[in-house]
């Protein structure tokens, strides 16, 4: 009895349609469909970029056309036609905006639907929001507070104009355009993104936050984020996003680069709930992201925390290169897949410096017919004496048609280092569900409760306001129409 | 009558376990159910509480004047039926506080009441913890996770105290308890006893019934209640075992 009944319940509970499916009609300023040197030049010109920026893009483009799209064992998707994508689209903007009143009311409306009204954000949460809608930063708040501390937090385009030396110095220093297919693509056509610079010894007084949102139909979104933390500084950075419902798949290939100098600490948190496609597996965002942090300085620390509930396909391995002696890398992840979603995610920890330490905690949750893979690499080079890694990869299965896979790769080139790996797979048992039911809690709520409990270790790492949102998201992603 | 079970037949996987059981429980009463292993005591509890897979093929279960056969497990719980599990499950990562608040609010929502205010809830937790002499630390941990056998049972009584059911079914809550814990459980039950609620206590030992004095003792055998008596029946069973009952029944 258990197996079948249980499956039916789980199926009902987990078949939930995307709640953020709406579409804002804002006149777009779009590039012609397709990708060529022309497109690259168009984008660069649109953005009034200096020559060096165009050069960078062109080099990346010329490299990209020599590369082959990678193939993975556990992800299947129709081939992407790179000539059928619009690589640039910006909401039309007549002049610089100095207050919210000047923002297109439709944009405000979009934010409201997402529950992230900038006004509220400003007044209530004390979070500086750099909102990115279809590639152009519309509004940056709390700029004043930040600049008092010497913190730079602005759109990438603005950084290219205002801080060219910093951008030139650090852009591509962690993720070179030669790194991988999608990194090359991003480097050629990236639209906008965020730039963040924390000067020597400054503890950033605010949680920095960006809401990304993919909007116009058929527009690839190519964000680029660069975070530089100088010696002894600290910053917590949050990235969160939703995408509207769409039939064709949308490609998203972002790059995030983080550099931490001596004693600097960067916490990067992501809550990602892009449109995963409908129940039949149609539509949805393809999310191919390259995120990498370089612990360049001694005792520096970078932690990645992510809650991934969206996208049709997620391919993402936030990584740390532990170059400075005694530096620390951390990766905490909850990845939920439902219906036909596929996620191939994990982390890479590259130990180069002495006494470097890394921790990987990965919690996969699979429902429906989805596939959830953890792929991790821990590499300890010969110079990284006395280094340590601890990895724990847990999978939770809801139903019997979904899959969880774990691929931990370990390469150790010295004997003084210790690498530990633990993995578990579990199911929500019928006993647990009945126990909750018997206390008056319906199955839908029970699954939310159990899943949140399972993911607690990771959720606890998120900044407070994010954690609450993430908890809701986990429940929403798995909730449906019970009886 | 609070609970009225008429000619109940329950099958698991097509195998009939409860075969024509009748039981009536009034408010204010305590009923003990005893019987050999594997005769259907836990199955009866599962059927009353509406567990999936326990198919009622015949008969009726009336609770507070309603036939509850069609109600889901959570609806029955919210109507006021509580089961103290023979084997409480662990729910890792879910704090007792969060679990109980969710449960209590589900119950309140069912009755059209707003969620319980945080302050009031915490006060209630404190009060009930004392009632069952449960350690504050236990209440801060995840549901049953790493609890000892005895702690799990006490935790069931704690939950019962929090949810204040009209009908509480205790399935071998006394098994595995040391004598002090047994007294604590009994004390908890006795303090909750009132004219408005009733208890069905499944047990193998007369010992518990020294502390919680039952109004009726039933013997469940072969899926039916084959003998009913007063408190003294438990003593007699303790002395003589079940052979004589089996013989009487099969004769
Ligand atoms: N889920 C199940 N699947 C198959 N058979 C079951 C299931 N649950 C109970 N049974 C069977 O039903 C019968 C009655 O079991 P039940 O647990 O109700 O007995 P009990 O009277 O509570 O026994 P005990 O005193 O040992 O707790 C037993 O033969 C048992 O094996
Ligand atoms: Mg039993």
Number of domains present in the structure of chain A? 1
Q: Are B153 and B84 in contact (CB under 8 A)?
A: yes
Nearest CA to ligand 1 atom 19: B38
Q: How far is A218 from chain B (nearest CA, A)?
A: 41
Containing B153, the helix (H) or strand (E) segment is helix B149-163
| B14 ligand 1 Cβ < 6 A | no
| B153 ligand 1 Cβ < 6 A | no
Burial of A280 (0-12, 13-18, 19+ CB in 10 A): exposed
Chain B residue at shortest CA distance from A458: B93
Question: A343 is written with which tokens?
Answer: 């996620």
If we measure between CA atoms, which residue out of B37, B41, B6, B33 comes closest to residue B21?
B6
The answer to the question of residue A385 being in a domain is yes
Contacts of B13 in chain A (CB under 8 A): 1
Contacts of A435 in chain B (CB under 8 A): 85, 88-89, 91
**pLDDT value at residue A138:** 40
Please, what is the Cα angle at A239 between A237 and A240, to 5 degrees?
A: 145
Residue to substitute from A9, A392, A438, interface B, most B β-carbons within 10 A: A438
Sequence ranges of the domains in chain B: 3-250
| B41 ligand 1 Cβ < 6 A | yes
CA A354 to chain centroid: 29
How many A-B residue pairs are in contact by the CB < 8 A criterion?
Answer: 82
Mean pLDDT, residues B212-220: 95
CA separation for the pair B129, B151 (Å, rounded): 12
**pLDDT value at residue A461:** 86
**CB proximity under 8 Å: A 130-189 to B:** none
pLDDT one digit per residue (tens) for chain A, 483 residues: 333 444 444 444 444 444 544 444 445 567 777 788 988 998 898 888 999 999 999 999 999 999 988 876 566 777 778 888 777 776 554 344 455 555 555 545 545 554 554 544 333 333 445 555 544 444 445 667 788 899 998 888 889 999 999 999 999 999 999 999 999 999 999 988 889 999 999 999 878 876 544 444 444 578 899 999 999 999 999 886 555 545 455 778 889 999 999 999 999 998 877 666 667 667 777 788 899 999 999 999 999 998 887 777 777 889 999 999 999 999 999 988 877 777 788 899 999 999 999 999 999 888 877 888 888 999 999 999 999 999 999 998 887 777 888 888 999 998 999 999 999 888 888 899 999 999 999 998 898 899 888 988 898 888 776 777 777 777 666 654 232
Domain, as residue range, for A88: 3-477
Containing B100, the helix (H) or strand (E) segment is helix B96-110
Provide the mean pLDDT of chain B: 92
**pLDDT value at residue A95:** 43
CA A32 to chain centroid: 27
Chain B residue at shortest CA distance from A455: B93
Dist. CA A123 → ligand 2 center (Å): 57
Q: Does A453 touch chain B (CB under 8 A)?
A: yes
Nearest to A431 among B89, B107, B159 (CB): B89
CA separation for the pair A133, A113 (Å, rounded): 14
If we measure between CA atoms, which residue out of A359, A307, A379 comes closest to residue A336?
A307
Q: How far is B28 from chain A (nearest CA, A)?
A: 22
Closest atom, ligand 1, to C-alpha of B40 = 18
| Nearest-10 Cα torsion for B177, B183, B184, B186 | 100
Q: State the ligand closest to the CA atom of B48.
A: 1
Question: A369 is written with which tokens?
Answer: 């017919």
Residue B24 vs residue A317, higher pLDDT: B24
Tracing tokens 């609450």 back to the chain, one arrives at A468
The answer to the question of residue A361 being in a domain is yes
For residue A255, what is the DSSP state?
E
Chain A residue at shortest CA distance from B13: A1
Using the predicted structure, report yes or no on whether residue B135 has a pLDDT greater than 90. no
Q: Does A100 touch chain B (CB under 8 A)?
A: no
| Nearest-10 Cα torsion for A190, A194, A199, A200 | -70
Q: How far is A379 from chain B (nearest CA, A)?
A: 31
Q: Does A452 touch chain B (CB under 8 A)?
A: yes
Mind giving me the DSSP string for A77-137?
-PPP-GGGSB--EEE---S---SGGGS-HHHHHHHHHTT--HHHIIIII--EEEEEETTEE
| B223 ligand 1 Cβ < 6 A | no
**pLDDT value at residue A253:** 87
Dist. CA B86 → ligand 1 center (Å): 12
Please, what is the Cα angle at A252 between A247 and A258, to 5 degrees?
A: 160
CB contact under 8 A, B85 and A435: yes
Q: Does A425 touch chain B (CB under 8 A)?
A: no
Dist. CA B44 → ligand 1 center (Å): 10
Q: How far is A437 from chain B (nearest CA, A)?
A: 5
Dist. CA B201 → ligand 2 center (Å): 11
Dist. CA B242 → ligand 1 center (Å): 18
Q: How far is A4 from chain B (nearest CA, A)?
A: 10
CB contact under 8 A, B94 and A449: yes
Q: Does A4 touch chain B (CB under 8 A)?
A: no
pLDDT in tens, A391-439: 999 998 887 777 888 888 999 998 999 999 999 888 888 899 999 999 9
Mean pLDDT, residues B170-196: 91
E strand segments, A152-284? 152-155, 192-198, 208-213, 223-229, 234-242, 250-252, 255-260, 265-273
Mutation probe of ligand 1 site: the residue of B8, B13, B18, B40 with most atoms within 8 A of C-beta: B40
The answer to the question of residue A205 being in a domain is yes
Q: Are A344 and A74 in contact (CB under 8 A)?
A: yes
Max alpha carbon distance in chain B (Å)?
61
Q: Does A7 touch chain B (CB under 8 A)?
A: no
Give A374's contacts (C-beta < 8 A, 6+ positions apart). A335, A345, A346, A362, A364, A393, A395, A404, A405, A406, A407, A408
Nearest to A432 among B74, B83, B91 (CB): B91
Q: State the ligand closest to the CA atom of B219.
A: 1
**CB proximity under 8 Å: A 287-316 to B:** none
Nearest CA to ligand 1 atom 9: B43
Q: How far is B134 from chain A (nearest CA, A)?
A: 19
A447: left (phi over 0), alpha (psi -120 to 50) or beta: alpha
The answer to the question of residue A482 being in a domain is no
CATH superfamily of B3-250: P-loop containing nucleotide triphosphate hydrolases (3.40.50.300)
CA separation for the pair A471, A449 (Å, rounded): 9
Contacts of A457 in chain B (CB under 8 A): 93
Dist. CA B117 → ligand 1 center (Å): 41
Nearest CA to ligand 1 atom 3: B12
**pLDDT value at residue A74:** 65
Chain B residue at shortest CA distance from A431: B89
If we measure between CA atoms, which residue out of A266, A237, A386 comes closest to residue A330?
A266
| B107 ligand 1 Cβ < 6 A | no
Nearest to A438 among B13, B73, B102 (CB): B73
């Amino acid at each position: 009895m258990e197996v079948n009944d249980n499956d039916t319940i789980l199926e009902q509970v987990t078949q939930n349609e995307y709640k953020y499916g709406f579409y804002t009609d804002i006149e777009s300023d779009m590039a012609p469909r397709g990708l060529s040197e022309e497109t690259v030049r168009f984008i660069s010109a649109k953005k009034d970029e200096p020559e060096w920026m165009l050069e960078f893009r062109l080099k990346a483009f010329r490299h990209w056309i020599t590369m082959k799209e990678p193939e993975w064992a556990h992800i299947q998707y129709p081939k992407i036609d790179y000539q059928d994508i619009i690589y640039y689209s910006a909401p039309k903007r007549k002049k610089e905006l100095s207050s919210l009143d000047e923002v297109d009311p439709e944009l405000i409306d979009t934010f409201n639907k997402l529950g992230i009204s900038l006004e509220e954000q400003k007044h209530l949460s004390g979070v500086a929001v750099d909102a990115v809608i279809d590639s152009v930063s519309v509004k940056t708040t709390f700029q004043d507070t930040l600049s008092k501390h010497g913190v730079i937090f602005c759109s990438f385009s603005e950084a290219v104009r205002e801080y060219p030396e910093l951008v030139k110095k650090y852009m591509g220093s962690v993720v070179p355009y030669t790194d991988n297919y999608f990194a090359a693509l991003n480097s050629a056509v990236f639209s906008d993104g965020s730039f963040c610079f924390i000067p020597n010894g400054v503890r950033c007084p605010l949680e920095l936050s960006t809401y990304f949102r993919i909007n116009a139909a058929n527009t690839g979104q190519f964000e680029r984020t660069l975070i530089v933390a100088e010696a002894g500084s600290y910053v917590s950075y949050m990235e969160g996003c939703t995408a509207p419902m769409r039939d064709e798949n949308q490609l998203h290939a972002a790059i995030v680069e983080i550099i931490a100098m001596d004693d600097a600490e960067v916490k990067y948190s992501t809550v990602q709930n892009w449109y995963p496609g409908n129940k039949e597996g149609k539509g949805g965002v393809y999310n191919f992201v390259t995120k990498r942090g370089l612990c360049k300085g001694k005792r520096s620390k970078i932690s990645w925390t992510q809650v991934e509930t969206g996208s049709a396909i997620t391919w993402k391995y936030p990584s740390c290169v532990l170059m400075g002696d005694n530096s620390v890398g951390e990766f905490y992840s909850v990845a939920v897949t439902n219906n036909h979603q596929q996620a191939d995610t994990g982390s890479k920890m590259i130990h180069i410096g002495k006494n470097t330490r890394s921790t990987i905690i990965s919690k996969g949750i699979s429902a429906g017919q989805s596939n959830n893979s953890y792929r991790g690499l821990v590499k300890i080079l010969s110079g990284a004496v006395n280094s340590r890694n601890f990895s724990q990869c847990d999978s939770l299965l809801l139903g019997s048609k979904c899959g969880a896979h774990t691929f931990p790769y370990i390469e150790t080139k010295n004997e003084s280092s210790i690498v530990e790996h633990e993995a578990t797979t579990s199911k929500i048992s019928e006993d647990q569900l009945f126990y909750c039911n018997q206390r008056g809690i319906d199955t839908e709520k029970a699954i939310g409760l159990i899943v949140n409990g399972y993911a607690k270790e990771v959720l606890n790492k998120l900044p407070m306001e994010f954690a609450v949102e993430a908890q809701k998201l986990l429940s929403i992603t798995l909730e449906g129409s019970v009886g | 009558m609070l609970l009225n079970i008429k000619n109940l037949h329950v099958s698991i996987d097509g195998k009939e376990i409860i075969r024509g059981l009748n039981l009536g429980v009034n408010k204010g009463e305590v009923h003990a159910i005893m019987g050999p292993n594997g005769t259907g005591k836990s199955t009866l509890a599962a059927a009353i509480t509406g567990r999936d897979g326990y198919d009622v093929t015949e008969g009726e279960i009336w609770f507070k004047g309603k036939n509850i056969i069609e109600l889901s497990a959570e609806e029955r719980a919210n109507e006021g039926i509580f089961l103290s599990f023979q084997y409480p499950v662990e729910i890792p990562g879910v704090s007792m506080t969060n679990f109980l608040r969710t449960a209590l609010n589900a119950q309140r929502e069912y009755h059209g009441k707003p969620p319980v205010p945080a302050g009031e809830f915490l006060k209630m937790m404190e009060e009930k913890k004392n009632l069952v002499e449960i350690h504050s630390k236990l209440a801060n941990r995840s549901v049953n996770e790493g609890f000892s056998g005895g702690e799990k049972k006490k935790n069931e009584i704690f939950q019962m105290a929090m949810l204040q059911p009209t009908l509480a079914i205790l399935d071998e809550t006394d098994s595995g308890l040391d004598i002090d814990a047994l007294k604590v459980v009994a004390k908890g039950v006795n303090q909750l006893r009132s004219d408005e609620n009733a208890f069905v206590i499944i047990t193998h030992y007369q010992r518990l019934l020294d502390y919680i004095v039952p109004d009726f003792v039933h013997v469940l055998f072969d899926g039916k209640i084959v003998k009913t008596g007063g408190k003294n029946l438990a003593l007699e069973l303790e002395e003589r075992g079940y052979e004589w009952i089996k013989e009487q029944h099969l004769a």
